[in-house]
């Protein structure tokens, strides 16, 4: 379906309809009221585009995103009467039910930390034999779940559900079957099947090496990545993750990572990100550039640290303010969590909301490191070792400050490398009104610590430059390598990128490329008009903020960024010297 | 020994053989296929003459992966120098793109290659969906798979 050109969407997964208009009026009013009720210092920062308080409309109503513990509160008793096929149907229906309910109960994404293992354990506990017939029923229902995730734009009457399947580790028959089925279906269905986000958990000894039991699933995953950009890869052999238990750690498709916990063991399962606020890094740099034109580059970087910290202290206070407001709610305000015990702490037996929510993370995000460094030093941070070292030192400093907040307040503060679908355009738009600088010409700010999308760096170089930042961004981060079109069956290329990712300390990795499909004849590739039938009705799929979306629905900032994306590896017309 | 080259591309190709590859374009080709993607490499009198040892040194220094595709131009117009270069890069995974046939690739050279792409480019058979070739009459061969 083509979108109406008259409508400007603020999120690529959005599809407007009557009830959505009503919801949006309410959401706008809720935002207005919140900005009036919180400290003026906070609301001014947000209004002026120095920071962005994400999911503002739900400020006092709910947390952000959750890696569900589906097993603990699973309604096992209800299943005892069912036939085997009904049990399988109801497992998947239960998942769908959780997604639907949680999608309205929280503001952000829903992660299944090990969907392969979880279904395998449910088969065991519910005594469903792993027979061919039962596996066929499972296949049908998993495929149906994927279809539903692509068709449902029901969250808040307009958005799809942000759902992530983490998988690839289970070596049991049913678990392996789940991984194979989900990836195969995703890989072989039409281009407009773009949900859920699938994250392949890669671990030496389980699936990375040819002698590993799930190596065949890794190979299948690579084929799918080559064809449809999904799965992305969570690298457990990378220095930043190597000490973590791969079964306990998972990632949200957008990149959010919840691991370390002041109140328990490091794990993601049953834990949430409570709230997050992103700081506009280029704004700080532009203020320094304007107010201290004679300062040396080193002095400017020092000033940056000072000013960033001042902003971060206010951001911290906002995050705590929101957190405290959420603590005033009752466990029964979270009906789905209350009923199905999806957190590490049971909502039914918890003494207080604090007992539950203290296990979540409060994230301080950033975007536009590239533009900020360019404003301060006059150069891209990947143009010299010196500027690269400065950029790393800056992010390290930010992490140290965030860790300081963590000890000071005994709360799980983390540093998040934000992608910021909406703010990538909102921040520069606000900054343009105040400053005139070359970094503002391109109408968007670069994702978190990424090198510019038109850097022309070799894929391995991009990984080398971005790798060092991964160890500091404990609230989540990703590196992408941009290919100029689908790498067809060049799985080795994707494998080499993954290998480099592991070598250079990348936590989470994705491969991007423009993916076009002619709606008249079905030709796939990367093109303006169809090379086969000259058709002009082209479906264009791109990745935005971790999820695949239809380019027609991109926000203005992300559209501007997409136009400048340049491959890190070439396909069509190789660049050559004369 | 001297090899006449057009250029070396270190930006990372994913269409000139499996993996991410550095591509060396030799200078000079007598095939002159219509629709050639790289006609500037045709002129046998043009290009830069560089000692093979220097080329090997540079590739070893600048290539981000140990994968090299020797393309062109027609590499088989300079067999002795190509062979010398390949001997200098023994630890590299090497592919050779020729417009000629497999029989035209000397056995000694074949034994040092992992892949070879054979056949001239035929515009009427252009394709973008077959791995590592430009037209369907061409063939991309994994020499290690064939020999084992």
Interface test with A, best of B6, B10, B11, B117 (most A CBs within 10 A): B11
Which residues in chain B have their CB less than 8 angstroms from residue A493's CB?
14, 18-20
Integer angstrom CA distances of residue A146 from A74, A141, A161, A268: 21, 9, 11, 23
**Residue A11 is encoded by which pair of tokens?**
């999120």
pLDDT band at A10 (very low <50, low <70, confident <90, very high): low
Cis peptide bond upstream of A495, omega within 30: no
Residues 454-493 of A with CB under 8 A from B: 456, 458-461, 483, 487-493
The pLDDT of residue A239: 98
The pLDDT of residue A4: 45
**Quick check: B40 and A578 CB within 8 A?**
yes
Do A281 and A366 meet the contact criterion of CB atoms below 8 Å apart?
yes
The pLDDT of residue A575: 30
Length of chain A: 578
What are the CB-based long-range contacts (under 8 Å, 24+) for A298-301? Answer: A300/A376, A300/A377, A301/A376, A301/A377, A301/A390, A301/A393, A301/A394
The pLDDT of residue A569: 60
CA distance A115 to A179: 8
Helix (H) or strand (E) holding A429: helix A423-432
pLDDT band at A578 (very low <50, low <70, confident <90, very high): very low
pLDDT band at A488 (very low <50, low <70, confident <90, very high): confident
User: Is this complex scored with an ipTM above 0.90?
Assistant: yes
Angle (CA) A301-A302-A303 rounded to 5° is 90
Do B27 and B48 meet the contact criterion of CB atoms below 8 Å apart?
yes
pLDDT band at A3 (very low <50, low <70, confident <90, very high): very low
**Mean pLDDT, to the nearest integer, of A26-44?**
96
The DSSP code sequence of A270-334 is TEEEEEEEEEEHHHHHHHHHHH-TTS-HHHHHHHHHHHHHHHHHHHHHHHHHHHHHHHTS-GGGS
For the segment A55-87, what is each residue's pLDDT rounded down to a tens digit? 999 999 999 999 999 999 999 999 999 999 999
Domain enclosing residue B34, as ranges: 2-147
The pLDDT of residue B133: 87
Tell me if residue A124 falls in helix, strand or coil. helix
Smallest CA–CA distance, residue B23 to chain A, in Å, is 10
CB-nearest to A458 from B7, B19, B64 is B64
Which residues in chain B have their CB less than 8 angstroms from residue A495's CB?
19
- CATH number for position B73: 3.20.20.70
Judged against a pLDDT cut of 70, whether residue A189 lies above it is answered with yes
Count of structural domains, chain B = 1
CB-nearest to A488 from B9, B10, B131 is B131
Angle between helices A385-409 and A369-377 (to 10 degrees): 120
Question: Is residue B127 within 8 angstroms of chain A, CB to CB?
Answer: no
**Quick check: B12 and A458 CB within 8 A?**
yes
Interface test with A, best of B36, B128, B130, B145 (most A CBs within 10 A): B128
Which residues in chain A have their CB less than 8 angstroms from residue B5's CB?
none
**Quick check: A458 and B13 CB within 8 A?**
no
Tell me if residue A413 falls in helix, strand or coil. strand
Judged against a pLDDT cut of 90, whether residue A454 lies above it is answered with no
Question: Is residue B25 within 8 angstroms of chain A, CB to CB?
Answer: yes
Closest CA to A57 of A107, A110, A108: A107
Q: Minimal Cα distance from B10: which residue of A?
A: A458
pLDDT band at A514 (very low <50, low <70, confident <90, very high): confident
Do A105 and A64 meet the contact criterion of CB atoms below 8 Å apart?
no
**Quick check: B128 and A483 CB within 8 A?**
no
**Quick check: B19 and A487 CB within 8 A?**
no
Strand B115-118 and strand A538-544: the pairing is unpaired
**Quick check: B14 and A570 CB within 8 A?**
yes
Considering the entire predicted model, what is its pTM? 0.93
């Amino acid at each position: 379906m083509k979108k109406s050109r008259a409508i400007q969407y603020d999120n690529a997964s959005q599809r407007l309809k009557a009830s959505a208009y009503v919801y949006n009026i309410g959401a706008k009013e809720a935002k207005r009221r919140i900005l009036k009720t919180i400290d003026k210092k906070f609301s001014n920062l947000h209004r002026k585009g120095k920071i962005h308080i994400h999911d503002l409309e739900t400020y006092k109503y709910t947390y952000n995103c959750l890696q569900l513990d589906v097993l603990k509160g699973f309604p096992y008793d209800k299943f005892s009467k069912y036939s085997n096929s009904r049990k399988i149907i109801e497992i998947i229906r239960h998942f769908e039910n959780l997604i639907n309910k949680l999608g309205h109960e929280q503001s952000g994404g829903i992660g299944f930390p090990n969907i392969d293992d979880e279904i395998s354990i449910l088969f065991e506990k519910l005594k469903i034999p792993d027979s061919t017939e039962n596996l066929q029923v499972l296949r049908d229902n998993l495929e149906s779940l994927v279809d539903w995730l692509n068709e449902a734009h029901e969250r808040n009457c307009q958005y799809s559900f942000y759902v992530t399947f983490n998988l690839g580790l289970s070596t049991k028959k049913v678990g392996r079957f789940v991984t194979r089925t989900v990836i195969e279906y995703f890989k072989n269905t039409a281009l407009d099947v773009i949900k859920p986000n699938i994250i392949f958990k890669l671990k030496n000894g389980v699936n990375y090496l040819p002698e590993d039991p799930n190596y065949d699933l890794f190979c299948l995953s690579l084929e799918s990545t080559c064809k449809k950009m999904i799965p992305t890869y969570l690298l457990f052999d990378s220095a930043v993750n190597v000490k973590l238990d791969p079964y306990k750690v998972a990632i949200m498709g957008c990149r959010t990572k919840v691991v370390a916990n002041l109140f328990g063991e490091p794990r993601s399962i049953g834990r949430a990100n409570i709230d997050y606020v992103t700081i506009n890094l280029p704004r700080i740099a532009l203020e320094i550039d304007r107010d201290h034109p004679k300062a040396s580059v080193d002095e400017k970087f020092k000033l940056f640290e000072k000013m960033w910290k001042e902003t971060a202290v206010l951001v911290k206070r906002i995050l705590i303010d929101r957190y405290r407001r959420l603590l005033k709610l009752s466990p029964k305000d979270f009906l789905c969590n209350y009923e199905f015990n999806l957190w590490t702490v049971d909502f039914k037996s918890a003494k207080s909301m604090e007992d539950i929510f203290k296990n979540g993370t409060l994230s301080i995000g950033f975007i536009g490191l590239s533009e900020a460094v360019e404003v301060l030093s006059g150069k891209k941070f990947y143009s010299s070792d010196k500027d690269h070292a400065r950029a790393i030192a800056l992010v390290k400093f930010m992490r140290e400050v965030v860790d300081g907040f963590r000890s000071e307040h005994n709360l799980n503060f983390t540093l998040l490398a934000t992608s910021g679908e909406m703010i990538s355009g909102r921040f520069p738009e606000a900054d343009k009104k105040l400053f005139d600088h070359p970094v503002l010409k391109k109408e968007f700010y670069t994702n978190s610590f990424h090198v510019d999308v038109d850097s022309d760096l070799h894929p391995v170089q991009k990984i080398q430059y971005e790798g060092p930042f991964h160890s500091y961004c404990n609230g989540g981060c990703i590196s992408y390598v941009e290919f100029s079109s689908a790498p067809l069956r060049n799985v080795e290329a994707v494998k080499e990128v993954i290998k480099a990712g592991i070598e250079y300390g990348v936590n989470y990795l994705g491969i991007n490329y423009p993916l076009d499909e002619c709606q008249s004849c079905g030709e796939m590739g990367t093109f303006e008009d169809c090379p086969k039938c000259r058709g002009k009705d082209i479906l264009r799929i791109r990745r935005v903020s971790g999820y695949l979306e239809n380019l027609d629905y991109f926000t203005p900032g992300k559209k501007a960024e997409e136009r400048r994306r340049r491959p890190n590896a070439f396909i069509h017309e190789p660049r050559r010297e004369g | 020994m001297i090899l006449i080259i057009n250029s070396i591309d270190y930006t990372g190709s994913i269409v000139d053989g499996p993996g991410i590859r550095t591509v060396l374009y030799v200078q000079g080709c007598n095939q002159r296929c219509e629709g050639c993607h790289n006609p500037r490499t045709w002129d046998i009198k043009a290009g830069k003459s560089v000692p093979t040892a220097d080329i090997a040194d540079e590739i070893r220094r600048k290539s981000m992966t140990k994968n090299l595709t020797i393309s062109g131009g027609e590499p088989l117009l300079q067999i002795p120098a190509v062979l010398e270069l390949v001997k200098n890069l023994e630890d590299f995974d090497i592919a050779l793109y020729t417009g000629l046939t497999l029989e035209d690739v000397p056995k000694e050279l074949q034994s040092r290659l992992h892949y070879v792409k054979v056949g001239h480019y035929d515009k009427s058979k252009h394709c973008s969906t077959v791995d590592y070739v430009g037209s369907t009459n061409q063939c991309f061969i994994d020499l290690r798979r064939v020999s084992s």
